[in-house]
Structure 1
Amino acid sequence: MTLGLPDSDPPPVYDSHTMTEPKKEDGTTSGAEPRYIYYHIYAPDGAIPSNSPFDSTKPFVGRIPARSVPPPHTVTTLKRCFVKKENIADPAESRTALYHNLYAHRPLDNLAKLAILGPGHANGTTPQTAFALVFVEELTAEENTRVRALESGENIEVNPEYLYYHLFTQFDEDTSATRFHPNEPALGRVEKIRISPPHTAATTKRCIAKAEGKPICAYAGQLFADIAADTVMANSAYISLIRNDCAGSTADKPLVLVQPERGPGFYTIPIQVISPGKSWGSFKPELGTLLYTDGVPDSLRGNVGRRLYKCSSTCGSKTFDGCKRSPILVADFSSYVMLF
């Protein structure tokens, strides 16, 4: 994710109006225009600008020559080529998942074969059919620093498509950091291309939370399809961004994001288990388990010098004293990490 070296052969001038390119089908014919494989790259909270975009009007699209992909042409092989081009560390091919395109519901199997040199417009051979390489875990601090160095106000596509949202607190409208109309300060928007696949309520909240600078919204925010909706969208609910009539596709019918209440007794601050720790009664948190805390140390338990927090688990498969959201006491806060 640092600036990389250009392709060994200068690419042909790209015509953003026609959105097509001449291709050589076998990857070896002398004198023919080279064939390229295009891709997007995403962190869990949204798009990352490519460190070597082929077109300044498409900062989130990278590409590699098809001839540079060694056999066998599988998902694993292609991921290796993408991460090398973007200078990402993924030695076991376990940090990233590859999607056929931006709108795919699920990632490809690592062993799946890909016809990247076949005839016609196969997946990835044009910018509009680009693959999507998505991190399945959080970026490291060093990687986040590199991403921030690539990000700028100029990372906007020509004629972007937006997803609109209406921002609320528990009590009133809030002022959006992405507001674009002086008379509608609670109305915000994000470019659709910035939302990480798969396009679910969860990934949409993460992208909005990043844009708003409010990470808590990614975990504890409530997303509604519109202002009249009666039920909260499940995190797994798919939002078909490719459709022009999807929820939030217009400014007059935005999604609605309600921010969680914070304070003593409101278990809305997420923490994650980063070491197995000890058991508390019948409960032993597993590595990676998400918990909610109100962030208020419990000083009434007689454990002087230890940071104790009341927490609730977000894992629906576990119960605590017969109640899925019964507060429990977790000790040794060094075994956990705040997610914002």
Structure 2
Amino acid sequence: MSTPPGHDHTSTSTSSLDGKGGTDSAANGGKSTERTGPSYVYYRLYTKLGAFESNHPLYYNDRFIGRIPSKSFAPPHTVASIKWSLCKLEGLSEPDKALVFTPLSSPAPKDDSARLSLYAPSGPGLSEQDPIALVVESEKKTKEVSQSEKPPERSEDADIHYVYYRVYSSEGGDKKAKTSFDENDISLGRISTLLIAPPHTAGSLKACIAKVEGLFTPGHALYEDMELFQDVNSDAAMSDTDVISFLGDTYPGGDEGDPIALVGAT
């Protein structure tokens, strides 16, 4: 069986046995151009309502980031081929309707004909910090996959970017947030910006909060009819098409003391 491109399994200890004496490194100025170890594709799964868990999680306590060996993806490595493979590996239907965003902050999906390099030293989908975002019609899976080995635990990450929010009923009163973290202020909630589906707009942020807060059950207003305010002092609601950038530290709801407000959740 041939070795996948970019995967050289010859170790330093055996390089002298091929008669070259390890001179390749010297010929390249002492720097090896070969990859060490296997390559992986990192990705996150979304519907328009927000993130959902992967069948191939990188961490057992954070199942929203998935990882699959690059060798699992058949060539050519176009966006169309990659999203088809991801849907198959995750047991998701309708890959032809799926969209790929890279980076996560991209305002528009990648064209199906675009090519992604899955064996490069760096690039889209080649690290946990720069994953591919796959947005599908439904998170319902045709199969569940049990991993042969338990993935490692993710350590506490102090660099999580949150959106802080309050939810108000149509009568105007604030409601207890399902994601509350302060027992002295239970109506204040927060979500990681990584849970929000691309493209990042006021509409996708509103949908994610509505999903997390369980506002899709009978008796609740349609989340499209709810209004999102940039802060509790705003006079007018944001438009669903307003673009929001979660890069950096300044964005709506980025400050615990200045949360956004979702109004009309009854």
- Fold shared per TM-score above 0.5: yes
Partner of 1:28: 7
Once the two structures are superposed, residues 36-58 of structure 1 have per-residue CA deviations (whole angstroms, 9 ceiling, x without a partner) of 11111112211111112133354
Partner of 1:203: 204
Partner of 1:235: 240
| Number of aligned residue pairs | 224
Shift of 1:243: 2.2
d(CA) in 2 for partners of 1:54, 1:183 = 34
Shift of 1:26: 3.6
d(CA) in 1 for partners of 2:177, 2:222 = 13
d(CA) in 2 for partners of 1:131, 1:181 = 33
Once the two structures are superposed, residues 98-145 of structure 1 have per-residue CA deviations (whole angstroms, 9 ceiling, x without a partner) of 111221111111111122223x3111111101100011x345xx5499
Q: Counterparts of 1:1-340 in structure 2 under 5 Å?
A: 26-31=5-10, 32-90=36-94, 93-118=95-120, 120-135=121-136, 137-139=137-139, 143=141, 158-159=156-157, 160-170=160-170, 171-215=172-216, 216=221, 218-259=223-264
Structure 1 segments unaligned to the other structure (5+ residues):
1-23, 147-154, 262-340
Among all aligned residue pairs of Structure 1 and Structure 2, give the percentage whose two residues are the same amino acid: 31
d(CA) in 2 for partners of 1:144, 1:214 = 25
Alignment check: 8 A CA contact 2:230 2:252 kept: yes
Alignment check: 8 A CA contact 1:27 1:67 kept: no
> Which residue identity does 1:70 align to in structure 2?
A
Partner of 1:29: helix, strand, or coil? coil
Alignment check: 8 A CA contact 2:60 2:154 kept: no
d(CA) in 1 for partners of 2:245, 2:190 = 16
Which one is further off, 200-209 or 216-225? Answer: 216-225
Shift of 1:79: 0.7
Partner of 1:329: none
d(CA) in 2 for partners of 1:205, 1:197 = 12
TM-score by length of 1: 0.60
Alignment check: 8 A CA contact 1:35 1:66 kept: yes
Once the two structures are superposed, residues 175-228 of structure 1 have per-residue CA deviations (whole angstroms, 9 ceiling, x without a partner) of 222222223232111222111111111111111111111123521110011112
> CA RMSD of the aligned region, Å?
2.6
> Which residue identity does 1:161 align to in structure 2?
H
Taking CA–CA contacts closer than 8 Å with sequence separation of 6 or more, which of the two structures ends up with the larger relative contact order?
2
Are the structure 2 counterparts of residues 167 and 133 from structure 1 closer, same or farther at C-alpha, using a change threshold of 3 Å?
same
TM-score by length of 2: 0.76
Alignment check: 8 A CA contact 1:205 1:218 kept: yes
d(CA) in 2 for partners of 1:156, 1:211 = 22
